[in-house]
Copies of this chain bind each other. A is one copy, B any other.
Amino acid sequence: MKKAIVLTSGGLDSLTCLALAQQSFDEVHALSFNYGQHHVAELEAAKRITEKMNIHHHIVECQFLGAMGGSALTDDSIAVEDYDPEGGIPATYVPSRNIIFMSIALAYAEIIGSSDIFIGISSVDYSGYPDCRPEFIDAFQKMADLGTKVGSEGQPIRFHTPLSLLSKAETVLLGTKHGVDYGMSVSCYRADTDGRACGTCDSCMLRKKGFEEAGLIDPTHYY
Knowing A100-B103, A104-B100, A139-B139 are in contact, say whether A133-B146 is a contact too (CB < 8 A).
Answer: yes
- Taking CB atoms and an 8 Å cut-off, the chain A residues in 122-166 that contact chain B are 130-131, 133, 135-136, 139-140, 142-149, 151-152
Interface flags for A54-96 (1: CB within 8 Å of B; 0: not) read 0000001111110011100000000000000000010001111
Q: Which residues of B contact A97 (CB under 8 A)?
A: 107
CB < 8 Å: which of B64, B133, B136, B139 contacts A104? B64
Q: Which residues of B contact A108 (CB under 8 A)?
A: 68
Knowing A130-B152, A133-B146, A139-B146 are in contact, say whether A61-B60 is a contact too (CB < 8 A).
Answer: no
Contact A111 B69 (CB under 8 A): yes
List the B residue with the shortest CB-CB distance to A99: B103
Contact A99 B106 (CB under 8 A): yes
Query: Chain A, interface size: which category?
Result: 35 or more
Q: Which residues of B contact A146 (CB under 8 A)?
A: 130, 133, 135-136, 139
Knowing A146-B139, A147-B136 are in contact, say whether A106-B96 is a contact too (CB < 8 A).
Answer: yes
A110 within 8 Å of B (CB atoms): yes
Question: A interface, by DSSP: helix, strand, loop or mixed?
Answer: helix
A98 within 8 Å of B (CB atoms): yes
List the B residue with the shortest CB-CB distance to A101: B103
Contact A143 B139 (CB under 8 A): yes
Q: Which residues of B contact A136 (CB under 8 A)?
A: 143, 146-147
Contact A96 B103 (CB under 8 A): yes
CB < 8 Å: which of B64, B70, B95, B106 contacts A60? B64
Q: Which residues of B contact A96 (CB under 8 A)?
A: 103-104, 106-107, 110, 147-148
Q: How far is the CA of A64 from the CA of B106 in the complex (A)?
A: 13
Contact A111 B142 (CB under 8 A): no
Chain A residues within 8 Å of B, Cβ to Cβ: 60-65, 68-70, 89, 93-100, 103-104, 106-108, 110-111, 130-131, 133, 135-136, 139-140, 142-149, 151-152
